[in-house]
């Protein structure tokens, strides 16, 4: 059976928490908003908040962690004579497309993006996840290309790619570019960075 009463209720309180949090963050700022306030606005106890989100930061980008899985899967399903450069380009393109389709298109994401760019605490949180993603991509590449012996070189390539794309996206967003131009900037950054690898 698809979804019982219990799961529906749980999902509803979770969504109520997210909505309350975003609304409060927008109105009084991230730091000025306490978890107790969020819980009260969602009409649940403070304790319940932490049953749904491990930290206060997680409520901002709730459910935005599926992109890495996507990229890893692309890498692991590489064709036998695809070069590492091609596979990486495909993986990055895949992630960019995913971002363009979900995060940047909807309006709620706008608030989130602005929060992420302005609140240093959230920046740190995002970077932590980004670093984790980078590590997993490097691991996937090493698994798919066991003949490649220089892990550090692979890591450098991935680091350059991720660094270029995120930096371009950050500055484009900060400048106030519309979604299409942001993705265009990300693509351009990825393309220019990938050019430097020959093998």
Partner DNA sequence: TGAAGCGATGCAGTCAATGTAGTAATGTGC
Partner DNA sequence: GCACATTACTACATTGACTGCATCGCTTCA
160 binds a copy of itself (CB under 8 A): yes
How many positions of this chain bind a copy of itself (CB under 8 A)? 39
Q: What is the dihedral of CA 69, 181, 162, 198, to 10 degrees?
A: 110
Query: From CA 158, how far away is CA 144, in angstroms rounded?
Result: 14
- The first and second tokens of residue 147, run together, are 């003949």
Q: Is-contact 82 91, C-beta < 8 A?
A: no
Q: Which of residues 162-181 bind a copy of itself (CB under 8 A)?
A: 162-168, 170-172, 175, 177
Residues in the chain: 199
- Candidate list 6, 63, 107, 120; residue touching DNA; CB under 7 A: 6
Q: Is 9 in the site for DNA (CB under 7 A)?
A: yes
- What distance in Å separates the CA atoms of residue 108 and residue 184, rounded to the nearest whole number? 21
Task: Between 42 and 95, name the residue whose CB sits nearer to a copy of itself.
Answer: 95
How far the first Cα of the chain sits from its last, in Å, is 51
| Residue 119 interacting with a copy of itself (CB under 8 A) | no
Choosing among DNA, a copy of itself, none, which partner's interface includes residue 50 (Cβ < 5 to 8 Å by kind)? DNA
Near DNA by CB under 7 A: residue from 28, 34, 77, 167: 34
Note the residues at the interface with DNA (CB under 7 A): 1, 4-7, 9-10, 13, 33-36, 43-48, 50-52, 54-57
């Amino acid at each position: 059976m698809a979804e019982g009463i219990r799961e529906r209720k749980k999902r509803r309180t979770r969504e109520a928490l997210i909505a309350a949090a975003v609304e409060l963050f927008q109105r009084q700022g991230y730091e000025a908003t306490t978890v107790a306030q969020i819980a009260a606005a969602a009409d649940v106890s403070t304790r319940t908040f932490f049953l749904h989100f491990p930290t206060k930061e997680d409520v901002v980008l709730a459910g935005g962690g599926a992109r890495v899985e996507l990229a890893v899967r692309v890498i692991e399903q590489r064709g036998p004579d695809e070069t590492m450069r091609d596979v990486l380009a495909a993986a990055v393109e895949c992630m960019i497309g995913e971002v363009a389709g979900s995060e940047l298109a909807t309006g709620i994401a706008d608030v989130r993006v602005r929060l992420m760019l302005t609140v240093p605490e959230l920046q740190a949180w995002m970077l932590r996840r980004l670093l984790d993603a980078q590590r997993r991509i490097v691991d996937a590449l090493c698994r798919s290309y066991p003949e490649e012996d220089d892990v550090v070189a692979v890591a450098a390539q991935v680091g350059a790619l991720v660094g270029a794309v995120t930096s371009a996206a950050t500055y484009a967003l900060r400048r106030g570019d519309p979604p299409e131009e942001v993705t265009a900037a990300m693509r351009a950054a990825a393309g220019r960075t990938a050019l430097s690898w020959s093998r």
